[in-house]
Structure 1
Amino acid sequence: MSSISARRILPLLFLWLLASCTPRNLVYFSNLKDNDRYQTPPEAPVELRLQPNDLVSIKVSSLNPESNALFNRGVLSAPGAAATTLSTESTPTEGYLLDQNGNVDFPVLGKVKLAGLTNTEATTKMTSLLQQYVKSPIITIRLLNFKVTVIGEVNRPSTFLVPTQRITVLEALGLAGDMTAYGRRENVLLVREQNQVRTTTRLDLNDKALLTSPFFYLQQNDVIYVAPDKIKQVQASTNALTLTLAGMGITVLAAVLFNFQNIFGTK
């Protein structure tokens, strides 16, 4: 074996090892320099629109306690009883579930379609419908099952219930214990379903432009998937052992060839 062969193999081996150790950027908003004062109007969160299978709380307040009891999933009081007595169904966390057609089954009114409406629009609609039964009703509507899911290369993947109905990508990752060192910060997948249409968007958390992105604020039922980097993929692959043995074999072979040419190589 000539020394030329060994000289060709060793650089190739070095390049292979170098490619497997490519450095990665683990810093969020890394293009925001230390001395930068980044000031820009943030993208306003989009007002949520109710969707089928949402669970909402609808509270009716008026000057008539009996009407309040009836429309707040209670029962009318018996003669002589306290006017504010409610049944066990009055638990405020029970809520109304929007069916597949986006309707709620509300006392007296029957089925009312709320899907596609914002909280403000739904409140206006319910107020208008109840005015014929209750004088000057005050309606409060709140989404009870606002949740986001964070999976993949994070420390605590899970589905999180958000009581405030407002959460950012960073806050969701914080609930999940942040990304692991293997998480690809430059290519986070956001899955969103609206109007029975599922869309996907890629987010770059190394870029400060995310702070003004319309996807910075999440919506109900959003799913964040943090993909692993190539090193983690190789480790999890069924061929990981084969690749490891192949790498060791190349290293041993290169060493043998190098020693062989030193001992028996031709000048």
Structure 2
Amino acid sequence: MNIFSPKRLIKASVIVIAVILTSCATSKEIVYFQDEPISENNEITVNSELIYKPNDLIFISVGGDKDAVAPFNLPAISYSTSSVAVNGDLKMPTYLIDANGNIEYPVLGTLKIAGLTRTQATDYLKNKLKDYIKDPIVNIRLINFTITVLGEVENPGTFTVEDEKISLTQALGMAGDLTIYGKRNNVFLIREQDGKKRFTKFDLTSINVVNSPNYYLQQDDVIYVEPNKSRVRSASYNQNNGVIISAVGTLATIIAIFIAK
């Protein structure tokens, strides 16, 4: 029996090609955040308004009588890297909320800001200022509001939100929308609350997604779009597989022709 018969060579070539094509990655090698089940213990609680937390950078201005408010407004500076540009090269300094949730404010000293909404923080500061200023006008703005979009979107990355409010669909729009390989019914949200990472999922195939209590995002939220099976299968496809398959086929043909003579 000729072990180099054309039929045996062709069969061997088919087996080699099949092995190459089926040596694709599994979802366990590709998909992010697989070992974090959604449960009551780690599910995101509802926040209808942005809440300040440690490491937030906030800008605070106080309006009112010019002389009275002067001690409560730090002067514009030109060398701060953690700041907001105002006029020309001048920048207004920001306050960093520390690990304990506090800021150090002129005259008033240590103020607990973390855990408050913008409305609550404004009222809190007004109450502190009323002994110094009649009818103070307080404006607070979060400077480092960023969200991160990962996975099967056209332009994954971290994005700065200027107006302190952004919806899930707006965030996906900033990232260029989902690719054709993204799972529409499995969009993952990660959020830090009370010092812990919490999770929830969205189903973009349902119109009810806009009614989700977490449809509007918080600062530092992470959105992850899981790849579908087609993307997972193609993710580990070796770019040289085509060359290898062609070479194997050509070699088998040459040998078959040679033996057949």
TM-score, scaled relative to structure 2: 0.67
> Is residue 160 from structure 1 mapped to residue 150 from structure 2 by the alignment?
no
Aligned to 1:169: 168
How far apart are residue 87 of structure 1 and its match?
5.6
Q: Which amino acid aligns with 1:67?
A: A
Letter of the 1:73 partner, please give it.
Answer: L
Superposed counterparts of 1:124-203, under 5 Å? 124-203=123-202
| Inter-CA distance 218–57: structure 2 relative to 1 (3 Å threshold) | same
CA distance in 1, matches of 2:108, 2:196: 30
Distance 1:93 1:181 in 2: 44
SS at match of 1:66: helix
Match of 1:38 in 2: none
CA distance in 2, matches of 1:159, 1:235: 26
Moved more, 99-108 or 44-53: 44-53
Is residue 51 from structure 1 mapped to residue 50 from structure 2 by the alignment?
no
Give SS of 2:67's match.
helix
Q: What is residue 256 of structure 2 aligned with on the other side?
A: none
Q: How far apart are the structure 2 equivalents of 1:156 and 1:93?
A: 32
Which residue pairs with 1:234 in the alignment?
233
Cα displacement (A) at 1:92: 5.7
Q: Distance in 1 between matches of 2:227 and 2:180?
A: 9
* SS of 1:192 mapped into structure 2: strand
Q: Which amino acid aligns with 1:173?
A: L
3-state DSSP of counterpart to 1:57: strand
Structure 1 gap segments, 5+ residues each:
1-12, 18-43, 75-85, 253-267
Q: Distance in 1 between matches of 2:178 and 2:97?
A: 34
**What is the TM-score of this pair, normalised by structure 1?**
0.65
One-letter amino acid of the counterpart of residue 68, structure 2: S
Task: Determine if contact 1:93/1:144 at 8 Å carries over to the other structure.
Answer: no
1: distance between equivalents of 2:181 and 2:120?
44
Q: Matches of 1:68 and 1:234 in 2, distance apart?
A: 63
- Residue number in structure 2 paired with 1:36: none
CA offsets, 1:105-164, max 9 Å, x none? 111111111111111111111111112222321111111111111111111111111111
- 1:67 is paired with a residue whose SS is helix
2:42 aligned with 1:61: no
Partner AA of 2:71 in structure 1? L
- Amino acid in structure 1 at the alignment position of 2:205: N
Are 2:106 and 1:107 equivalent residues in the alignment?
Answer: yes
What is the Cα deviation at residue 45 of structure 1? Answer: 7.4
Do the aligned residues in 2 keep the contact of 1:57 with 1:94 (CA within 8 Å)? yes
Q: Secondary structure at the match of 1:184?
A: strand
Q: Which runs of 5+ in 2 are unaligned?
A: 1-17, 23-45, 81-85, 250-261
Any residues of structure 2 matched to 1:77-92 within 5 Å, and which? 88=78
CA shift in 2, pair 1:182/1:170, >3 Å: same
Cα distance per residue 1:171-224 (max 9 Å; x no partner): 111100111111111101111111212111111101111121112111111110
Separation (CA, whole Å) in 2 of partners of 1:215 and 1:117: 18
Q: Which amino acid aligns with 2:168?
A: V
Q: Secondary structure at the match of 1:225?
A: strand
User: Does the C-alpha gap of structure 1 residues 93 and 182 become closer, same or farther in structure 2, counting only changes over 3 Å?
Assistant: farther
| Cα distance in 1 between the residues matched to 2:181 and 2:231 | 6
Q: How many residues align?
A: 193
User: In structure 2, do the counterparts of structure 1 residues 215 and 87 end up closer, same or farther at CA, with 3 Å as the change threshold?
Assistant: closer
